[in-house]
Structure 1
Amino acid sequence: MKNKKLFKITFLDQGKTLELYARHVASSALWGFTEVGDIVFDQQEGLVIDPTEVRLREEFGNTRVLHLPIQCIVRVEEVQKREPLVIRDAVSGERVVTPFPLAPSLRKP
């Protein structure tokens, strides 16, 4: 069986830097966009659950093709193996994990 290429896509979204893994990356038919398809998520099941993986799977799990504006893409890398997904604050670069959205009344001013 031929090994399929694996790409790590780092992009900006709503003040955060997100990483996703996908098997397909190409110029989109939509001018100014990059097409990301066949998004890869960790298939392991067990007692340890990665909240970042869960959050990204909830947001992109049913996505067939993601069209990203080229100005929000930070990097596209062809990699040999998949590593844990990361969500970072776009300004500070610190890891951000917010598994559940906070109600507006609970957010700090």
Structure 2
Amino acid sequence: MSRRKSIYKVSFINQGKVYEVFAQKVYQADLYGFVVIEQLIFGERSTVVVDPGEERLKSEFESVRRSFVPMHAIIRIDEVEKEGVAKIHELGANVTAFPPTLPPPGGRRDG
């Protein structure tokens, strides 16, 4: 009986955008406060329709063996049946970066 490989959809915040990627391995790093994402999965390059967002992610992670993502940047990790299209979104109203932006030093505080 062959064991099915797990596929994970990982959503995380990077440089003010939400990245959604698919990977075969996701685990807590030995490096405190980081999650490791390995063996990223992208669609086949031979397909006729090309998604520019996925192509950008492919080129960004092209030579990356392992990514260490800060734990506080992770939005969600899902185990899924099959991979989908990797994409980059704008940070929406439903997602807040943690920690929230603090007022500048010496700034006025209401209340």
Q: Which residue of 2 aligns with 1:22?
A: 23
Show the counterpart of 2:8. 7
3-state SS, counterpart of residue 29 of structure 1? coil
SS at match of 2:57: helix
For 2:12, the aligned partner's letter is: F
Amino acid at match of 1:26: Y
TM-score, normalising length: structure 2: 0.77
Equivalent-residue separation in structure 2 for 1:83 and 1:24 (angstroms)? 16
Once the two structures are TM-superposed, the CA of residue 44 in structure 1 deviates from its matched residue by: 4.5
Match of residue 79 from structure 1: 80
CA distance in 2, matches of 1:92, 1:14: 16
Once the two structures are superposed, residues 12-69 of structure 1 have per-residue CA deviations (whole angstroms, 9 ceiling, x without a partner) of 0111001000000111011000011011111241332111110000001211110000
Q: C-alpha distance in 2, partners of 1:6/1:16?
A: 22
Structure 2 letter corresponding to 1:52? G
Distance across 2 between alignment mates of 1:83 and 1:20:
9
SS at match of 1:56: helix
Gaps of 5+ in 2: 95-111
Measured in 2, the distance between the counterparts of 1:86 and 1:64 equals 19
| Match in the other structure for 1:89 | 90
How far does residue 91 in structure 1 lie from its aligned partner after superposition?
Answer: 3.2
SS in structure 1 at match of 2:53: helix
Q: Which runs of 5+ in 1 are unaligned?
A: 94-109
**Identity score, percent:** 31
Report the equivalent of 1:40. Answer: 41
Aligned length: 93
Q: Which aligned runs of 4 or more in structure 1 are off by greater than 3 angstroms? A: none
Partner residue in 1 for 2:97? none
